[in-house]
């Protein structure tokens, strides 16, 4: 009996131990599964974080672009834009014409065809906006389209200036070359020495004009390409005296007086002596060409609080108000007939503008038709030595 009870108790104890062991094993298994689940959740969270970070980086890159970007899915719904693209979609920029062009271009691109739309906005200010939509797809998977919206105003203006330049250059060269051909034809069979001498001199004059155009073009190219001119101390008093000496004979031939105001002793600039001399010379030369006899041209340097002005003022024919905005363009001339008669090429003022820009300055103009003009090359104070 006692043995039986002992065996029964032992059996119960063994069963209890087995049961406790199973429970413990089950708890360990649950804990392990919990750990695995937590690791999976953490891994998924990290992947989501990385994906979000990657998206933000991509969005930041898109937003940094200087063009608008708009993408659509296969149904034509907008799914991604950058800041500039969003402004066009919301109509805050320019005109509804751009929105219309964007919608049309994307619609075409969603059908698998690349499309480009150009919109000209009258302004002010006037603008040229180009919308280019490109279909995006992968094999057996239609994704949608992307549109690029770019302000082509500057490019359009450069193209227009280039076309005008070529047209003007062709015209400016054709005129003297045609004259040379006509004069040469006239020389044939001519025996009278006086006539021969006259025609020959005219040919020389026209040839000189072609040479002057080419020289000015080369000088303009040098000035344009030399965006950072040589920096050296330039004595302003000597600069003005040199320019005056260069033009004294031409001025005297028209009885024009060049009055040079006394310049502050020791006034210097850091810049390119050759470029500054050429710019001032062009201004004085123009003043002589477009001034009547017995007039006065003022040449001076004025030191301001934040700048130094190199000034040329004349009593010439002046410039009409309508021409003031274009007077510094290549080959632009108010009086082309007089310009050709006096040997002008229409490039001098363009050279002046580029020289001023190369030195961190600007060219200012005040003029009244029939009263004269005042040109000021304004250079910033920090160019001083």
3-class secondary structure, 235: strand
Instruction: List pLDDT tens digits, range 328-384.
Output: 877 776 655 555 555 566 778 888 888 888 888 899 999 888 888 999 999 886 644
DSSP tag of 363: E
Burial 160-169 (b: 16+ CB within 10 A, else e): eeeeeeeebb
What pLDDT band is residue 313 in, cutting at 50, 70 and 90? very high
3-class secondary structure, 147: strand
Closest CA to 286 of 219, 171, 176, 372: 372
Give, in order, the Cα–Cα distances in Å from 164 to each of 145, 151, 167. Answer: 37, 22, 5
Q: Candidates 3.40.50.620, 1.10.357.140, 1.10.287.130, 1.10.760.10; correct CATH number of 153-225?
A: 1.10.287.130
The per-residue pLDDT for 34 is: 59
Instruction: List pLDDT tens digits, range 164-210.
Output: 667 767 766 777 788 888 888 887 877 778 878 888 888 887 887 78
Q: Is the pLDDT of residue 385 over 50?
A: no
Average pLDDT score, the chain = 76
3-class secondary structure, 374: strand
What pLDDT band is residue 10 in, cutting at 50, 70 and 90? low
Q: Is the pLDDT of residue 55 over 70?
A: no
The span from the first CA to the last CA of the chain, in angstroms, equals: 122
What pLDDT band is residue 312 in, cutting at 50, 70 and 90? very high
Mean pLDDT, rounded, for 124-140 = 78
Q: Candidates 3.40.640.10, 3.50.50.60, 3.40.50.11900, 3.30.565.10; correct CATH number of 228-385?
A: 3.30.565.10
Provide the H-helix boundaries in 226-260: 236-253
User: How far is it, in rounded angstroms, from Cα 384 to Cα 205?
Assistant: 42
Element containing residue 90 per DSSP (H, E): none
User: How far is it, in rounded angstroms, from Cα 288 to Cα 281?
Assistant: 11
The per-residue pLDDT for 62 is: 65
Q: What are phi and psi of 296, to 5 degrees?
A: -125, 140
Element containing residue 5 per DSSP (H, E): helix 2-64
Spell out the domain ranges in the chain: 63-151, 153-225, 228-385
Give the range among 91-100, 112-121, 197-206 with minimum mean pLDDT.
Answer: 91-100
Mean pLDDT, rounded, for 281-294 = 89
Q: Is the pLDDT of residue 92 over 60?
A: no
Comparing 63 with 368, the larger pLDDT belongs to 368
Judging by beta carbons within 10 Å of its beta carbon (0-12, 13-18, 19+), is residue 216 exposed, middle or buried?
buried
Comparing 240 with 197, the larger pLDDT belongs to 240
Query: Does the domain formed by 63-151 have CATH 3.40.50.300?
Result: no
Q: Is the pLDDT of residue 51 over 80?
A: no
CB atoms within 10 A of CB 83: 13
**Taking a C-beta distance cutoff of 8 angstroms, is the pair 85, 103 a contact?**
no
């Amino acid at each position: 009996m006692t043995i039986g009870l002992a065996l029964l108790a032992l059996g119960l104890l063994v069963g209890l131990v087995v049961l406790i062991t199973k429970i413990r094993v089950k708890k360990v298994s649950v804990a392990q599964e919990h750990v695995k689940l937590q690791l999976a959740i953490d891994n998924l969270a990290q992947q989501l974080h990385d994906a979000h970070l990657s998206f933000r980086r991509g969005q930041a890159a898109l937003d940094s672009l200087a063009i608008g970007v708009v993408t659509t899915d296969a149904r034509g719904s907008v799914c991604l834009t950058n800041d500039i693209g969003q402004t066009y979609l919301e109509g805050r920029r320019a005109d509804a014409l751009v929105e219309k062009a964007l919608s049309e271009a994307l619609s075409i691109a969603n059908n698998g065809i690349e499309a480009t739309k150009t919109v000209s906005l009258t302004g002010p200010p006037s603008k040229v906006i180009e919308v280019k939509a490109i279909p995006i797809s992968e094999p057996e998977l239609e994704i949608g389209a992307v549109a690029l919206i770019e302000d082509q105003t500057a490019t359009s203006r450069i193209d227009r200036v280039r076309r005008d330049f070529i047209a003007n250059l062709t015209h400016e060269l054709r005129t003297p070359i045609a004259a040379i051909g006509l004069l040469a034809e006239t020389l044939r069979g001519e025996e009278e020495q006086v006539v021969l001498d006259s025609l020959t001199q005219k040919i020389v004059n026209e040839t000189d004009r072609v040479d002057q155009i080419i020289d000015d073009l080369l000088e303009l190219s040098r000035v344009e390409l030399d965006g950072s001119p040589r920096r050296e101390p330039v004595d302003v008093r000597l600069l003005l005296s040199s320019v005056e000496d260069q033009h004294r004979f031409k001025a005297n031939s028209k009885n024009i007086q060049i009055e040079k105001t006394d310049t502050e002793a020791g006034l210097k600039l850091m810049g390119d002596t050759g470029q500054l001399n050429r710019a001032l010379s062009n201004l004085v030369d123009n003043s002589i060409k477009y001034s009547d006899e017995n007039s006065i041209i003022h040449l001076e340097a004025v030191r301001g609080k934040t700048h130094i002005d190199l000034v040329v003022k004349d009593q010439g024919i002046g410039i009409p108000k309508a021409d003031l905005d274009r007077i510094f363009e290549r080959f632009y001339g108010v009086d082309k007939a007089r310009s050709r008669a006096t040997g002008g090429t229409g490039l001098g003022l363009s050279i002046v503008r580029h020289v001023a820009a190369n030195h961190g300055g600007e060219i200012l103009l005040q003029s009244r038709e029939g009263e004269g003009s005042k040109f000021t090359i304004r250079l910033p104070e920090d160019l001083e030595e």
